[in-house]
Structure 1
Amino acid sequence: MTADHYYSSGGDIALFERAFGRQLPVMLTGPTGCGKTRFVEHMGRLLGRPVVTISCHDDLTSSDLVGRFLVSGGDVIWNDGPLTRAVKNGAICYLDEVVEARHDSLAILHSLTDHRRTLYLDRADEIVTAPATFMLVCSYNPAYRSSLKELKPSFRQRFVTLAMDYLDPDREAEVVVAETGVDLAVAERLVRCATAIRQADEVFHFEPPSPRVLVTAGHLIAAGATELEAAHACVLAPLGGDGAVADGLREIAAANLTTETALAQPLRK
């Protein structure tokens, strides 16, 4: 899969297009690395709209979103923030991991997510009405265990929610092949290893390995690493855990990967 391609997992593209046509905001939910960001980028290309991405975090303020006054050349001038620029340009504004943002910062979005579709810039004494091509898209992982944060139900209900998940194993293996060039059999073993770990997630209680780490492992294998070396470095090590958990993960990897074929796998032409 190249950077400009996206593997659909169902009716996600059609639903997004319908929401765009009706000027409705969309909330993407799903595990880390399941393709939420790539999906938004793909839909931007498909709909012919630029995508303005904002990575949310604890320190993100409403001013960071809408803009602020700055001193320039002795004058105090207003500078639009990324959200304001997206609204004015009729772009797709994508708030990645919106759950990480402070609730008071998200309040600025309320008027954009209802019938008003308007951004109020109180400090600049300006009202910006969103054009028909503007779309607000947010994403987060509802199963993210290391965070105690949660979005308010009243905020979530402002959005059309599109639940995303991992691709089925065959399609996921195709992604690894297309991204890295490793042999299909190698990709299938990596996916099988990740699937086994995901199924053991309820016992070990960690963030399961995403397709992103499988692609990274595939790159290492294509560069000459063995399958087990790549799996340990890219799949197992980031999961951490105590000795018992680490031992369990190594057993899963050893059971699903082969050492005989791990040396210099042939690349797909």
Structure 2
Amino acid sequence: MKREIILLGLFIIFISKLNAQQKESFNTDTHDSYNIKFGVPSKIIKNYTFYNSSSTEYQKSIILYSKNLDTISEKRYKNSEFNAELIFIFNKNRNLIYRSFNSKIPTVGWRFKLTKYKYDENGRIESRTIDKNGNLIDFEIIQNDSLKNKTLSKLFNSNNQLLGYETTQYYYEENKKIWRVYNGSGKKINESVSKIISNKKTKETNNNKYNEYGDCILYPRNWNKNDNTYYQVEYKYDKLGNWTEQKIYAVNKIDGEFKNKKINRNFKRKIKYRK
């Protein structure tokens, strides 16, 4: 019974990693996600406020950048309490080669994980994660096609046991890809179909709206097909054109009109530029 619980826990971790990878394919890479549109940052302080129905939660991040932007570190705080630190190191191509994550877990304490990544001419081919004592936690093997898109990913535990794998088939002429997830026994447990490339025009036809800076100012929540909640975003910018504040409101679309506007989140950031 204990072995089954452990295997179940590892499989849940595997699914979480694959879901994160799927989302990553729709977003920018790690380096771009920490960068800004204009100028070279040396330090960014972010303050987040989340307005829940019964409480308000505060989070803060302090991000430091090396001179060449090849090392980025982030300290995170929740309700003024320090609870996590991340360090990213990149190669000359801005590919992530090192990531450490030290986080404080309730009732458990501090937990450290370190992941190193390898690449070939077509992209990432391997990642290995170890704990604070240098013990292997898991490792991933990746295959990519000639266009540098991932086609196969397998995740193994420290005993070289396959936890699960994902495949992606690309139909480039149709701008379509099919993503599938399998458990360690080869049973398919999830499948989704999406576009390979989603441009701004396509997004706008799906009810997303953008301002003159290219930032999204309206998008649907999409919890289910009957969800009529949207998020509206108001921005403030500094002199270089980087946003310094985002106010995010939840609104309901009723009979083609937006009603019941209510503050949902507020993000602020202070950017110190490298001279």
TM-score interval for Structure 1 and Structure 2 normalised by the shorter chain:
under 0.3
After TM superposition, the score normalised by the length of structure 2 is 0.24
Normalized per residue, the structure richer in strand is 2
**Higher RCO (Cα < 8 Å, 6 or more apart):** 1
Normalized per residue, the structure richer in helix is 1
